[in-house]
Structure 1
């Protein structure tokens, strides 16, 4: 069985704020654009961090951000996703962290669910709850079809990981699928939001060193796409 959406849809969602959700969205969108494809970001978070970035961004080429924060019902996010997926090669949904049902409905119509998480016990507990409670609801919304998903560690130290962080990472890897790459705490990611730039533009303008941040974002994107392809192949059997 194929996904309801004709083009890849990725939801980046967590129930905990401050986990690097929108940074992940912008980093992935940046690398999709740099690879020569178009991407639509659906910002369904009341904070509108992605949409505010888009307002500052001058190029307005290859990335479109839609304000979908003001929904009458959380289920209405599905209409935005279907419309965007019919027009753009890639769609990334940035749902509100504390609006669980909105995230569930977004994930139910997605080909991949990326769960950003800091290497802390609080974030690990929030993710465990997502995989227990929200996952059950999402699979039910999808008619019993599982959704490809991975945990993405964010804001990790680029030089050395503390003992506590390493413990959280290892414990998480033993319980759930985790991306091989991490979205580490580099200035280039912060510069995207601060100056309204893509990662490629951050590098071009010399605002920050973006070589490694771009490589990590590209690796994460590649692994997500491979997971989507594997899931589609499995469903065709």
Structure 2
């Protein structure tokens, strides 16, 4: 199974969600590889920081920021249970390649006025990819949600009947993610019962219901 986190907008949490999905699967004894397809290399930086901190290896992270991803990712997937792609911002060729590789595309988005991002390039590219891969599944993921805000509720309601629809699980705006990342960790390694970890595990459960 190949899951890609894509959005042409930077700073929406693609890397954080990709690493935590991979980590959750690794904790289930799944063999997982993360493909860092972002030229900024944030997932690779996290992996290197984890190695410096001598953290146990949960999954492999490889850099593959090129538009041959749709050919190379399926080959990588032959040797593992899951591949998670941390996608690039604003590089159409790379996003097209990731879309052609993926079984499931997740579009992280922060709560904001619906018209501000719902017609973005990534949605156009998803529609384009479905011409060649009509079975491609896609979902929005609301990330960095401030607790109980009207805009978060309105965004979720606006996406309820949208294609792609939004997942029910939401991830809050929490300093735990930044604190864990500084030492190459994941939130459930730092505080397995904390709010951030619980939100991630709810998200992972919903993703798993889609990829079974």
Q: What do the CA deviations read for 1:53-91 (whole angstroms, capped 9, x no partner)? A: 00011335221100112x3xx1x1123312220111110
Corresponding residue of 2:127: 136
1:175 aligns with one of 124, 141, 162: 162
Q: 1:84/1:60 Cα in 2 relative to 1: closer, same or farther (>3 Å)?
A: farther
Give the Å deviation of 1:132.
4.5
Matches within 5 A, 1:35-114: 35-57=28-50, 58-69=54-65, 71=66, 74=67, 76-114=68-106
Give the Å deviation of 1:216.
1.8
Contact kept, 8 Å, 1:10 with 1:111, in 2: the verdict is yes
Corresponding residue of 1:215: 198
2:138 aligns with one of 146, 149, 153: 149
Structure 2 gaps, min length 5 = none
Corresponding residue of 2:187: 199
- How many residue pairs were aligned? 208
Corresponding residue of 2:116: 125
2:26 aligns with one of 29, 33, 36: 33
Specify the SS of the correspondent of 1:66: strand
Q: 1:127/1:51 Cα in 2 relative to 1: closer, same or farther (>3 Å)?
A: farther
Give the Å deviation of 1:52.
0.3
Output the aligned Cα RMSD. 2.0
Q: TM-score, normalised by structure 2?
A: 0.89
Contact kept, 8 Å, 1:20 with 1:154, in 2: the verdict is yes
Specify the SS of the correspondent of 1:116: strand
Structure 2 CA distance, aligned partners of 1:42 and 1:60? 19
Contact kept, 8 Å, 2:99 with 2:126, in 1: the verdict is no
